């Protein structure tokens, strides 16, 4: 079972920042935090991942709490194309090849 907890859905206005939360209170020291998203009728798409430090890439930022029990995916300026289901996934780099998916957060972008 997924070891993360995310809200079922969130709404945001176009061109505004979006903060998608994820709780992972049982995270272990070797778990990386991965975020993927799935646009309607498409395959999943990698967004970002991190271990302890905050991470930035061209798609998003990942803010990781100091105790690592929660994290937040930040979309700096949401567009209609960002409407998707966002998945927060923990992956133990020493024991797992697979990604274990939860239900994710459905992000709705209002024009």
Partner 1 sequence: EPEVTQTPSHQVTQMGQEVILRCVPISNHLYFYWYRQILGQKVEFLVSFYNNEISEKSEIFDDQFSVERPDGSNFTLKIRSTKLEDSAMYFCASSESYRDDEQYFGPGTRLTVT
Nearer to partner 1 by Cβ, of 46 and 56: the residue is 46
| Residue 15, Ramachandran bin (φ over 0: left; ψ between -120 and 50: alpha; else beta) | left
3 binds partner 1 (CB under 8 A): no
Pick the stretch among 7-15, 17-25, 39-47, 71-79 that binds partner 1 (CB under 8 A). Answer: 39-47
In the list 17, 46, 76, 80, the residue contacting partner 1 (rule: CB under 8 A) is: 46
In the list 5, 32, 61, 63, the residue contacting partner 1 (rule: CB under 8 A) is: 32
In the list 59, 63, 74, 99, the residue contacting partner 1 (rule: CB under 8 A) is: 99
103 binds partner 1 (CB under 8 A): yes
């Amino acid at each position: 079972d997924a070891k993360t907890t995310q809200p079922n859905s969130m709404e945001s206005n176009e061109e505004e920042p979006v903060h998608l939360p994820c709780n992972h209170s049982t995270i272990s020291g070797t778990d990386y935090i991965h975020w993927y998203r799935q646009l309607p009728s498409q395959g999943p798409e990698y967004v970002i991942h991190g271990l302890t430090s905050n991470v930035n890439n061209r798609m998003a930022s990942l803010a990781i709490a100091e105790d690592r029990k929660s994290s937040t995916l930040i979309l700096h300026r949401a567009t209609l194309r960002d409407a998707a289901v966002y998945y927060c996934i923990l992956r133990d780099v020493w024991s797992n090849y697979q990604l274990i998916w939860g239900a994710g957060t459905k992000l709705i972008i209002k024009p």
